[in-house]
Structure 1
Amino acid sequence: MNNNTEEMKSRKTSYTQQAAASKRAALGLLLLLSLCLAGCGRVEVPAQYGETPKLPAVYPDYTHVTVPVNIAPLTMELTTPAEDVVTRYSYAGQEIVCGGVKAQPDIDEWKALTAAAKGHDIRVDVYARQQGQWTHYKPFTITVSPDSIDPYISYRLIAPSYVTYEELTINQRCLENYDETVIYNNMLAANDSDGQCINCHNVQNYNPDRYQFHARQHHGGTVIEYDGKMQKVNMKNDSILSAGVYPAWHPTLKLLAYSTDQTMQSFHTRDIDKIEVLDSQSDLILFDPDKNEVQTILNDSTEFEVFP
């Protein structure tokens, strides 16, 4: 009986300690959230400030631009040195006030503001504190078009260098909220001895189910995806300069035109960081994926067909 009593007391003490710990954790979380909310709430337009007729130097430069109504929040930062910055986006009584050198509007607030300002202008006021004094720059506007932009864009993400070419991905970004996903990760198929590069990804008439891209060097070829069917081809033969290079889909038919090229790099003598890629020869071909057939379109040795 005594053993059972002691065990019950021990359990009760343990439960009490766990409950107290949980309560402290919950209170800590609430305190943290309240501090975060208070920090957002403390961002206010300065009560006293001087005026300047200059527009603020912001990057990216969004002064007097027109944007589609469904664009993601326009993040920008003041490039002029400042101790603190307040940025206000406003239209017809609605406003978003951001604190800090980089203005990052909340996505829900931004969507509400752009929806209200559709077909009109959002006013942007930038205030900067320099040497303890606030200055209000000349306001500028962002025109909100009632038209929407296609929500997705794809691109090759690679370092701006002519030395590194293997560490890259083909990515997709949503222009409505900045969500980014990887379509193809080149590092998954590469290694030290057998490297490869991927390039020239191209989609037929904005249809993500119909696309192509090239793989160079190890396991090289052109990958073509068309309505769920994928194939890998090598268009190079003795009668053409190279495998397909720069692609162009037919708008509706299952046909692709390519340039074939002999390319080279050219370095600037006064600035070693600048480089050009030039063609010494170029022709045009047509590829039919169903027939796996290549036809020559133009191959005049005296012409650069990629520069019509």
Structure 2
Amino acid sequence: MTACSSKTEIPAVYTDIQQPVSIYPDYKEIIIPPNIAPLNFLVRSPGKEFVAVLAEEKDQLTVSSSEGSSIRFEETDWQNFIRRHKGNSLNMTIYAHTGKGWLRYPPYTIRVADEDIDPYISYRLIEPGYSTYRQLGLYQRNLTTFEEQPIYENNRSFDFRDNHCVNCHNYQNYSTRNMLFHVRTNHSGTIIARDGQVEKIDFRNDSIIGGAVYPSWHPKRDWIVFSSNKTGQAFHTLNREKVEVIDQASDLIFYDAEQKTVRYIFKTDSLLETFPQWSPTGDRIYYCVADLKTLRSDSGTVTTTDFLHKYDRLHYNIMSLPFDSLTCSFGTPVSEVDCSAIGRSASVPRISPDGRFLLFTQGDYGQFHIWHKSADLYVKNLENETIYPLEALNSKDADSYHSWSSNGRWIVFSSRRDDGSYTRLYIAYFDPKGQAHKAFLLPQRSPEQNMTLLKSYNVPELTTDPVSISPETFRKIIYEAQAQTMTYR
């Protein structure tokens, strides 16, 4: 109780040193939302006791750690203090007692932005390498606190009869009122919730490649665009990468949830179209596309062997497609980002809520960049057509799947920069001029959690409200409901 008290005594006698303090996570010189949970951290510099002082002029928030090196702020004190100083820069000063007296490290700055971040984030937690679909689930976290709740979990232990995976959760316009996710293998189907009503849809049909995969929900209407993919995994033996997810065929389909009908947007043999995303106004979709001609063998066909031996020749570009909501028809594709021209490849196009910026992942090849160390985040300014990397966000390891906040001021993305194996979530401020600022690790009640959790965070999505449908309701539909089949036209 005393270690978390806001009445901690600040050392009166100390020695100033010039060496910067070492902390984990790295919360130095960052911009944070005024509604974020406490930035608890570990002090890695030597010491037996520590005192942290967060200050703005004469207003101070203090906390100490008398056992170990964990600095944890009381949630209410933190929230009140941060809210009081919205738009201001705060100084964090660390004192360390080494046994020979107190040391004071140079302060570092934390700036509190004016704009909130959406209070909820959902993600999948999954083992980074897996061969059985066990102990994984979809979860939602309240970013203003540390509360995490399951949206849906599969089985805790392996059972062949009930073995199934869940993935690709998606929401309409940052609200959980309308949402979906897929169930794979046993009990399979797409779980779609609209206004509290849950149904299971079976998109598989002999006229499409492999069911519905990557989704995007129209911002205003009950229209969902999916890619339909035929994918497979391959594993490297001598390579710094671990797993290769190869897309052997993919098209785009359009689903009308009211009419229960599906139709093709694209049905091509030579092109791989994937990762569709509606614009914020719903008058255009963005998507990735690669040309199979780069893999074509001497016989003129593309074989499985070609995919396995030439996987690094696949380069995806980003295209957009105009959409007329009155006629429900699509126009002529437009090139947005030509990555193949520079020997690179794009994935996961996402448009900022104000329609000004196209955020995407760029890597050396392919489209499953969560495994690729070359993966970095890039932006295209849709007003002046400039394309540039978000240097403040990128690292030497995979920086990939990303989403915007509903006000366009925050980006959440997944990164493997910490240890190269486990994906963690990072948050960054994106200013109105189109520049990203230093990213910080998702805060946890225990700062050790990001080192000890043996799961990867997958597909972070920000929402303005929590999922209200219970895991038990989803489980009942998944296990007991007969999946509805679709009419294709």
Under a length normalisation based on structure 1, what TM-score does the superposition of the two structures give? 0.80
The offset of 1:239, in angstroms, is 1.8
How far apart are the structure 2 equivalents of 1:135 and 1:176?
32
Contact 1:69 1:115 in 2 (8 A): yes
SS of residue in 1 equivalent to 2:272: coil
> In structure 2, what is the Cα distance between the partners aligned to 1:122 and 1:48?
23
Instruction: Give SS of 2:76's match.
Output: helix
Match of residue 117, structure 1, among 70, 82, 85: 85
* Distance of 2:211 and 2:195 partners within structure 1: 24
Kept in 1, the 8 Å contact 2:48–2:98? The answer is yes
Give the whole-Å Cα distance in 2 for the aligned partners of 1:275 and 1:255: 33
Within the candidate set 76, 101, 109, 1:108 is matched to 76
Q: Is the 8 A contact 2:166 2:181 kept in 1?
A: yes
Q: What is the correspondence of 1:10-89 to structure 2 with a 5 Å cutoff?
A: 36-37=1-2, 40=5, 43-89=8-54
- For residue 235 of structure 1, report the CA deviation from its aligned partner: 0.8
User: Who is 2:137 aligned against?
Assistant: 169
- In the alignment, which of 252, 259, 272 is matched to residue 284 of structure 1? 252
| Cα separation, 1, equivalents of 2:120 and 2:163 | 30
How has the CA–CA distance of structure 1 residues 139 and 37 changed in structure 2, closer, same or farther, with 3 Å as cutoff? closer
Report the more deviating stretch, 141-150 or 259-268. 259-268
Per-residue CA deviations over 1:202-257 (Å, capped at 9, x if unaligned) read: 11111212000000011101011111222211111112111111100111110111
Deviations 1:139-183 (A, max 9, x none): 111111122221111111223332353212211111111222222
Q: Are 2:183 and 2:191, in contact at CA under 8 Å, matched by a contact in 1?
A: yes
Give yes or no for contact 2:4–2:72 (8 Å, CA) kept in 1: no
In the superposition, relative to structure 1, how do residues 44 and 248 fare at CA in structure 2: closer, same or farther (>3 Å)?
same
Q: Which structure is larger by alpha-carbon Rg, 1 or 2?
A: 1
Deviates more, 1:196-205 or 1:262-271: 262-271
Residues 1:236 and 2:204 aligned together: yes
Aligned length: 273
Given residue 224 of structure 1, which amino acid in structure 2 is its aligned partner? I
Give the CA deviation at 1:201: 0.8
2:32 is paired with a residue whose SS is strand
2:210–2:228 contact (8 Å) kept in structure 1: yes
Bigger mean CA offset, 99-108 vs 44-53: 44-53
Taking structure 1 as reference, are residues 236 and 108 closer, same or farther at Cα in structure 2, changes over 3 Å only? same
Asked if the contact 2:3/2:64 (under 8 Å) is kept, the reply is no
User: 1:85-164 counterparts in 2 under 5 A?
Assistant: 85-100=50-65, 101-130=69-98, 132-164=100-132
CA distance in 1, matches of 2:266, 2:157: 35
Contact 1:202 1:212 in 2 (8 A): yes
Distance across 2 between alignment mates of 1:38 and 1:291: 59
Shift of 1:56: 2.2
Question: Alignment partner for residue 195 of structure 2, among 204, 220, 227?
Answer: 227
Are residues 38 and 301 of structure 1, via their aligned partners in 2, closer, same or farther at CA, if it must alter by over 3 Å? closer
1:39–1:157 Cα change, 3 Å: closer
Preserved contact between residue 63 and residue 73 of structure 2 (Cα < 8 Å) = yes
Question: Residue 131 of structure 1: CA displacement?
Answer: 5.9
Q: Are residues 118 and 42 of structure 1, via their aligned partners in 2, closer, same or farther at CA, if it must alter by over 3 Å?
A: closer
Look up the SS of the partner of 1:187 in the other structure: coil
Q: Relative contact order, CA 8 A, sep 6+: which one is greater?
A: 2
How far apart, CA to CA, are the structure 2 residues paired with 1:235 and 1:151?
A: 32
Q: Relative to 1, partners in 2 of residues 1:61 and 1:198: Cα closer, same or farther, differing over 3 Å?
A: same
Contact 1:204–1:251 under 8 Å retained in 2: yes
SS of 2:83 mapped into structure 1: helix
Shift of 1:49: 3.1
Deviation string for 1:271-308 (max 9, x for gaps)? Answer: 68832322122111111122222111112221121223
RMSD of aligned Cα (Å): 2.4
Residue of structure 2 in register with 1:18 after alignment? none
CA distance in 2, matches of 1:221, 1:82: 54
Instruction: Return closer, same or farther for 1:233/1:190 CA change in 2, 3 Å cut-off.
Output: farther
How far off its partner does 1:41 sit?
Answer: 7.7
Task: Indicate how the Cα distance of structure 1 residues 238 and 113 shifts in structure 2: closer, same or farther if over 3 A, else same.
Answer: same
Distance 2:154 2:15 in 1: 53
The offset of 1:42, in angstroms, is: 8.1
SS at match of 1:115: helix
The question of whether the paired residues in 2 share the 8 Å contact of 1:158 and 1:165 is answered with no
2:177 paired residue among 178, 195, 209: 209
Higher helix share: 1
